[in-house]
């Protein structure tokens, strides 16, 4: 069977990481938020298409067209409109947001389901919210290793000091990572007693 932390606990919720999502920041970078622009957004996993949505941008809204499979296995066509709003930025300009059609909340991301809604409407959590203390500590240690130019593998030697990093910073981060790994192993070991 699985080891420490394997499997899903009975009270765990669906997470945002496993959902199709529409990100207004990504759309802005791709210059897709221009009135009159239309196209298709597609998602892939392991080089296989997992979903696609047709879109049309108007001045104040994004119109989504897609199909959803019902519980009886039939396809239904859905046309959904998502309105835009914006807020001023401190140093000028404006930041655009999507208004969730379900709760009218200002969000940057909408997640797929039958309808594209915010994470609150879909009752989604972030995967990090479901991690135990030991898993959070290991994630922190891996993050420090990547910052140093290393890999996620905790069994490899600790990465060398990156160019232009102060030795004091390097020593502090290395100590933090090593303490996080030691404490996570202690937590995992004590759970087996």
Distances (CA, A) of 44 to 25, 50, 89, 122, 126: 19, 5, 33, 21, 20
Which pLDDT band holds residue 10 (cuts at 50, 70, 90)?
very low
d(CA 92, CA 183): 45
d(CA 60, CA 84): 5
d(CA 64, CA 79): 6
Per the listing, tokens 């981060």 go with: 173
pLDDT tens track for 19-68:
778 889 998 998 988 888 888 887 766 677 667 888 999 999 999 998 88
pLDDT tens track for 66-94:
888 778 878 888 888 999 999 999 988 89
Judged against a pLDDT cut of 60, whether residue 140 lies above it is answered with: yes
Q: Tokens at residue 169, please?
A: 């910073």
Sign of the CA dihedral 127, 133, 137, 140? positive
């Amino acid at each position: 069977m699985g080891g420490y932390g394997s499997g899903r606990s009975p009270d765990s919720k669906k997470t945002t990481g496993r959902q199709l999502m529409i990100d207004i920041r990504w759309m802005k970078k791709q210059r897709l938020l221009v009135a009159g622009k239309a196209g298709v957004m597609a998602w892939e996993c392991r080089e296989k298409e997992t979903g696609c949505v047709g879109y049309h941008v108007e001045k104040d809204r994004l119109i989504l067209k897609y199909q959803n499979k019902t519980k009886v296995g039939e396809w239904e066509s859905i046309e959904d409109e998502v309105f835009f709003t914006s807020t001023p930025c401190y140093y000028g300009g404006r930041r655009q947001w999507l208004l969730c059609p379900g709760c009218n909340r200002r969000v940057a991301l909408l997640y797929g389901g039958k309808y594209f809604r915010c994470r609150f409407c879909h009752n989604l959590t972030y995967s990090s919210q479901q991690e135990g203390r030991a898993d959070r500590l290991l994630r922190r240690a891996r993050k420090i290793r990547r910052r140093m130019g290393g890999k996620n593998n905790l069994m490899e030697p600790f990465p060398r000091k990156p160019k232009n990093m102060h030795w004091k910073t390097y020593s502090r981060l290395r100590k933090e990572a090593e303490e996080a790994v030691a404490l996570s192993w202690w937590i995992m070991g004590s759970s087996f007693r």
